[in-house]
Amino acid sequence: MLQCLCLRNLEIQVQILTGSFHAILKIRDAKKEDLNRLYQLGLATLEFKTSQHSIFMDREELAAVIKSKRSVVVVAEDGKKLD
């Protein structure tokens, strides 16, 4: 039996220090306000394509996944920037 514990509204802050590189990333649930940026990132990321002829996901499907309580979509922010 496979069991999964999903935490909603979880926010984690990670500090990365390596040499001269310093970053603070905030990892959190995706929000509907993130839809446009996530969709653009998805279109630009080859690894998200499901075949050579299709986009990674329809915008409406991504919106439904973000909204769904049965799905987990997280984003990592560097400041207020999603990349």
Which residues 6+ apart lie within 8 Å of 41 measured at CB? 82, 83
In the prediction, which pLDDT does 2 show? 46
pLDDT grade for 37, boundaries at 50, 70 and 90: very high
* Prediction pTM value: 0.70
Phi, psi angles (nearest 5°) of residue 18: -140, 110
pLDDT grade for 51, boundaries at 50, 70 and 90: confident
Q: Domain segments of the chain: what residues?
A: 11-82
Percent of the residues in the chain that have a pLDDT greater than 70, as a whole number: 84
Name residue, tokens 């973000």: 66
Please state the rounded mean pLDDT for residues 30-39: 92
3-class DSSP string for 13-70 = EEEEEECCEEEEEEEEECCHHHHHHHHHHHHHCHHHCCCCCCCCCCHHHHHHHHHCCC
Answer whether residue 49 shows pLDDT above 90: no
In the prediction, which pLDDT does 26 show? 84
